[in-house]
Structure 1
Amino acid sequence: MLGHRPHPTELVEKRLHGEGLCDNVVQKATIKSHILCARFSSQGHMPELGPVTARLKALRERTGMTVRGLAEALHMPASSYAAYEDPKKFKKPLLPVPLTMKLADILVEKGAPRELILGLAGISPSGDLMVEPADLAEQLDAVLLDEVEVGYSMGGGSDIADFPVIQQVPFSRAWLSSLTSSPASSLFVARGDGDSMMPTLLDQDIVIIDRSQNMMRQQDRIWAVVYGGFGMIKRLRALPDGSVQINSDNPAVSPIIAVDGEAFIVGRVVAIVRRI
């Protein structure tokens, strides 16, 4: 006879009962920059609960809300919200704190336990240890940049018409000011996929993109560009006939010629961050 298999939300309740979460801020140096990573870590040994995507889906279904209905309540496109429930698209261990707080305001009224919702972001049930990301950044003389989950593909490209922001990443204020004079609101972080820009950019390298720089003033700079509805990180060269040559650093990848507004610039890549 098969034993009782607990529902994921039952496991969450057991885990959170009587146990809290503490804040852990880790400052890491990289080859090209100093990134300040703020994260929540568990206090003591806590059992595995499965991916946060499945827990979010279970909580939504518990309230009877549809993906579209919850997305509308969050004031975001349905496909953007759906990415947070898709383990192939959202691979982070925790949800962003701002999104989680909005979810709590909506789902608690529908009967979902607040402590289970807050647990999606690694926040203790009591909330006593909760620290706002903006407060952490201010204490560390950092600024918060949005990180895009879907990203700009360095391979075949990825559809960026509707991509979600998964979290805000703290970066050293002094280091960013050495890259660009643009305000933090003009900057965002993305990760590339593929090898078409090797050896300059490797798969999963982090790039910082300045959206205020969207006009070509110098040849062969690296840009975030949209071509044919797909986002790419490429070198751009303006040609005499008014077209733009989209180049990959990998010699095995052929250039693309874009004409008549087929491509538009999102921003210039001002930094590459690589783990070693």
Structure 2
Amino acid sequence: MAVSSSPPPFPEQQPVSARLKALRERAGYSIRALAQDLGMGHKFSSYSFYEQKLKKEYLPVDLVRRLVPLLCERGDPPITASEVWALSGVIPGGSDLNDGIARATRAQAPRRNADGTITINEYDITPHAGSGAIVEETASGSGESHPSVAAWHMPRAFVENYVSDPSSLAIIRVSGNSMEPDFMAGDRVLVDTAHRVPSPDGVYVLWNGLGVVLKQLMLVPHSNPPRIRIISVNQTYPMDEVNAEDLVINGRVVGKWVWK
């Protein structure tokens, strides 16, 4: 007896991770090669997360913006810009495309102002406020990401003296006591959300399955596959160790405010 199978879903009905993988393969990229061209280095776990573990409806707009020039016009049939932008939930087509990108990035991207300042958004990372990434990454308005609760205006020259590219900066307020005394509850820290590879050793913002947390990361020497130690400054908390590819990193802490 013949058994009929359901036809595969239309591309727009597939999870965004599957659609991303299909476009990558159609473009003739391996995971490693695309991660390299995206500037994610030879450790491709940051990119592979989007194909293997992402549960959200759309990809981050900033990631899609970088994918467009890499994937367009490759493959058979050639990949179009509309196909790539659709991964972020932006509706393609003329001015609608530009308007959609602006709406999707308005809440997250720092803004350079005419008066020489830069506006950087502060995000609420308490567990009840959202999950996954720090910044609002979806264009769907689903409200799953952390909301911006304030906007900080700082001298642009001062910020760029310490961070060469401020376009992915965000501010978060520390919660909990696991990183005391280096980071106290209520401290505000500056995070480079584009830095999602655990190198060099330092303090990073992680998604631990329940919320967004600050932890110190250190590569275990000579480990193969690479393993990372997750360290709390407060020694009453245990140290953990995981494979680098299992980390979900939201950014690297590049500064903090110290009040006198």
Question: TM-score band (shorter)?
Answer: 0.3 to 0.5
More strand by share: 1
Tell me the TM-score normalised to structure 1 length: 0.44
Alignment TM-score, normalising by the size of structure 2: 0.47
Q: Which has the higher contact order (CA 8 A, sep 6+)?
A: 1
